Structure 1
Amino acid sequence: MTRAKAESVNFMAPFTVLRRPDLGKRLARRLVRELSRDFSLEQLDFPLLERDISDSLAMPSAIKSITKATDVLDLAWICTPPSPGSGGHTTLFRMVHGMEKRGHRCTILLYNRHGSDPQKYISLIRQYWPELSANIAVVPDQIIGYHACVASSWETAHVLAARGAAISRRLYFVQDYEPYFYPRGSMYALAEDTYRFGFQHIALGNMTTALLRREAGVTPVTVPFGCDVDTYKLENHGHRNGIAFFARPETDRRGYLTARLALKEFNFRHPEQLITVYGDRVSDLDFPHHHAGHLSPLELNRLYNRCLAGLAMSYTNISLVAEEMLASGARVVVNASSLASVDATNSHIIWGPPTPTGIASALSTAVCSPLSNTERTNMARSVRKGWQHTQDLVATAIEATCREGQTEVESMKGSP
């Protein structure tokens, strides 16, 4: 009997694991870790090829400028492949379009260390950012034939340093203090080192400027945030219900875990309010909600116009979502952050303590204190008006940098 009982227990062990999902998850995680170690899978998450890692202490001397100024500039912009709705890419492409409107020729150089089919991302850019007329290509082994080249993130700054020795005018459009994206370690240090590469920095917002000065000892050109009021506008003066939340589970600075717990508590307090989650796919929301997936700007404006409020989480620079919601007439809750608040000075933002209860209470305030039509109209009008001023300042900075001296490009011009 003892042997039979033991055999019965061994036979049922797999089913015991199935009845204990947490144990099953731990076993799966252990297996993933072992596979990751055996096959060096963590290297797949590293965003650079090893040959593109640059070092500020081993940078070659900048080449001397050899040409006179020209009215029409040939400019390259390096970026990683975008995804639909990417705020960072949207802001960057606005700056590219600003240069195009001034008559300059622009090329977007895509950097993807995994070598994915570039046509997929070219088609995506044409679909989601149709205003761009820029040429789009893969970053070549050697970047030549441009008056200037602009990096748009810490990874692309390394690529520009490694492959752009022939470019005398190298700039860096800095939208956030990117070392803060990582724990203290190698990735933090690699991101931080890019600010010592000697590029001309153009910083979006006062927070980024202050951190570049304090942490890296560089003084950038500062340009302000804008808000796309041509797309995001108040259209619904009638009934509204619910809240909207932009989910980025794999980007911790966007506060997904805190938001998920806060929304669960909010739903307990206000089950009558529809919660709409949009953005990345999520599978761990254990409260009633509607997942809308990735939405176009026009679809987002329609969503915000249906909602009483929205949640825009950010632990570094302020999310563009905050003012876009306000422009559409939805009150917005943002987690209290000394970093995000530097550039988010709109008095209509509701700052919630960055805990689940704090955020849930702030959302309750937003939906329990409905605005009058006059108050909602004033709130929508309070946002920054467009991106033209920012585009002009970025364009002026690039033009001034190039006028200081340019590389002869016509003799080197070719397909990147």
Structure 2
Amino acid sequence: MISLIKSAQLQFLRRSRQLHNVWKAEGLLGISHRTRTAMAQWIMPKEVVMPVRPSDVIAADLSRPLQTVVPKASPGEPIFVNWVTVPAVARSGGHTTQYRIIKYLEAHGYVNRVYFYDVNHVDQRYYESILRSAYGFNGPVARVEDGMEDAHAVVATSWQTAYPVFNAHCAGKRFYFVQDFEPLFHPVGSLSILAENTYRMGFHAITAGRWLAEKLRADFSMDADYFEFGCDTSLYSHLPRSQRSGVVFYARPEAARRGFELGLMTIELLATRRPDIEIHFYGEKMGKLPFAFTDHGRVTPDQLNEIYNRCYAGLSLSLTNVSLVPHEMLAAGCIPVVNDAIQNRIVLDNPFVRYAPLNPHALAAEIEALISMDNFATLSQAAATSVRSVTWDDAGAKVDSIFKRFVGK
């Protein structure tokens, strides 16, 4: 009993000194943050729901070749495509790209069906309403566990959905709509391996950009085609009245692949060097930071275009495949500063993008150089012009040609 009391006293004194140190270094905000983190970890269930059903993984015997019936579409007959996807919130970048392609295919005679793969038992009616209102999808929506109708093509859209697509009994050539290298979304462990194994299922990949296609071919001997990123210049454009006075950063703390912490340190350095420059954040609300900034939070495309047109440069970090953000910035004449990486150079392939090593000092210096340019207005206009011919219709046409190569007559 005495030893237990002494141990408790020792731990109490240790925690008290730590609390004092945090108070001195970070004040009440630091204590509040650590308290919330500790409470969240304490109440979090020890068994977290996996993003894929274990039963689906067990059913997917990758040692056996994938065998499916692949019907061919007769001339004049529509091509039927089953898209297997997780339920989407509004304005998700990956779902935005997917439904842009689907809308193009619908306009060209395809019949698209969406099947939700859902491990969380969400309200299907609610998420179906999001597909209608936020993404403009008007086709049938069902649950994949209720079974899929025969189709010409069956498309997995994320690593979780690849397992039910592999296991499904319906007809249709199996495709994999790959927008990023998803094993890197997880620490090395079971989930990263389960994601990696989906590239060994024998599907035909349709990737967002050339980098992913080349990687899947080289690392997994996977058959792969790709489409180039488009840019919606009806939403993002260079405004003639724009007066630039700032820098913008897309804040996504929950997406490790977007390098949020490195970006935040970059912006803090820039704010110290150039206190005259306005700082804009959008995405998640940031709360208090040690420098002045405008915290926009979640914004509409119209609001975002206004923000881009107020900024010389935008910081957009991509540690895996690039996001839609650099093209949006370019269209508005806001120069994207990105980390110098092979995937960014291959996919963006634009002379107006600025690259810098992935450290805060180099990134901040590149942004500062843009701010200090004498002829920035000319550069800005040229950058906006450079993406006017890059449309999502081109991407849709490429996906159309890939489907027809395999299931058309």
State the Cα deviation string for residues 68-115 of structure 1 (Å, max 9, x = none).
636212222122222333211111111111110111111222222111
* In structure 2, distance between residues paired with 1:400 and 1:93: 21
Aligned equivalent of 1:412:
none
Please tell me whether residue 341 in structure 1 is matched to residue 342 in structure 2. Answer: no
Aligned residue identity for 2:264: R
Report the identity percentage: 29
Amino acid at match of 1:391: G
Distance 1:390-1:10 versus aligned 2 partners, 3 A rule:
closer
Shift of 1:40: 2.2
Q: In 2, Cα distance between the equivalents of 1:28 and 1:281? A: 17
1:237-386 to 2 correspondence within 5 Å?
237-283=241-287, 285-369=289-373, 371-383=375-387, 385-386=390-391
Aligned to 2:399: 394
Aligned to 2:196: 192
> Match of 2:296, SS?
strand
Equivalences for 1:34-183 in 2 at 5 Å? 36=44, 39-41=45-47, 43-44=48-49, 46-53=50-57, 55=60, 57-59=62-64, 61-65=66-70, 69=74, 71-130=77-136, 132-162=137-167, 164-183=168-187
Q: Does the aligned pair in 2 maintain the 1:236–1:306 contact within 8 Å?
A: no
**Contact 1:226 / 1:386 at 8 angstroms: preserved in 2?**
yes
Q: Which amino acid aligns with 1:151?
A: A
Cα pair distance change 1:301/1:137, threshold 3 Å: farther
RMSD of aligned alpha carbons: 2.9
Q: Helix, strand or coil: the match of 2:314?
A: strand
Residues matched between the structures, number: 392
User: Which amino acid in 1 is paired with 2:127?
Assistant: Y
Change (3 A) 1:167 1:371: farther
Equivalent residue for 1:3?
none
Return closer, same or farther for 1:66/1:223 CA change in 2, 3 Å cut-off: closer
Counterparts in 2 of 1:200-239, with a 5 A limit?
Answer: 200-239=204-243
| SS of 1:57 mapped into structure 2 | coil
In structure 1, distance between residues paired with 2:301 and 2:218: 35
Deviations 1:24-52 (A, max 9, x none): 8667656655655xx424x23x2112222
**Does the 8 A contact of 1:105 with 1:134 survive in 2?**
yes
Letter in 2 for 1:400: R
Look up the SS of the partner of 2:305 in the other structure.
helix
Distance 1:371 1:181, change over 3 A: farther
Query: Helix, strand or coil for the counterpart of 2:146?
Result: coil
Q: Judging changes above 3 Å, is the alpha-carbon distance between structure 1 residues 374 and 274 closer, same or farther for their aligned structure 2 residues? A: closer
Contact map agreement 2:69 2:171 (CA 8 A) in 1: no
2:117 maps to a residue whose letter is: Y
How many angstroms apart in 1 are the aligned matches of 2:73 and 2:336? 50
Q: CA deviation at 1:361?
A: 1.2
Q: 5+ residue gaps in structure 1? A: 1-5, 405-416
Is the partner of 2:99 in helix, strand or coil? helix
Moved more, 132-141 or 351-360: 132-141
d(CA) in 2 for partners of 1:125 and 1:362?
39
Change (3 A) 1:27 1:68: closer
Between 1:247-256 and 1:173-182, the stretch displaced more is 173-182
Mark the CA change 1:61 to 1:372 in structure 2 (over 3 Å): closer, same or farther. closer
Report the Cα distance in structure 1 between the residues aligned to 2:288 and 2:67, rounded to whole angstroms.
51
Q: What is the letter of the counterpart of residue 380 of structure 2? A: R
Question: Shift in Å at residue 257 of structure 1?
Answer: 0.5
> Cα distance 1:271–1:58, how it changes in 2: closer, same or farther (>3 A)?
same
Of structures 1 and 2, the one with the larger relative CO (CA 8 A, separation 6+) is 1
CA gap of 1:281–1:79, structure 2 versus 1, over 3 A, is farther
| Cα distance between partner residues in 2 of 1:190 and 1:10 | 40
Residues 370/94 of structure 1: CA separation in 2 closer, same or farther (3 Å cut): farther
Normalised by the length of structure 2, the TM-score is 0.86
Question: Is contact 1:227-1:323 (8 Å) kept?
Answer: yes
- Residue 332 of structure 1 contacts residue 366 of structure 1 at CA under 8 Å; is this kept in 2? no
* Aligned AA (2:358): P
- CA contact 1:65–1:168 (8 Å) conserved in 2: yes
C-alpha separation in 1, matches of 2:34 and 2:296 = 31
Structure 2 residue identity aligned to 1:385: V
| TM-score normalized by the length of structure 1 | 0.85
Which residue matches 1:410? none
CA contact (8 A) 2:202 2:222 kept: no
SS in 2 for 1:308: strand
Q: Which residue of 1 aligns with 2:3?
A: none
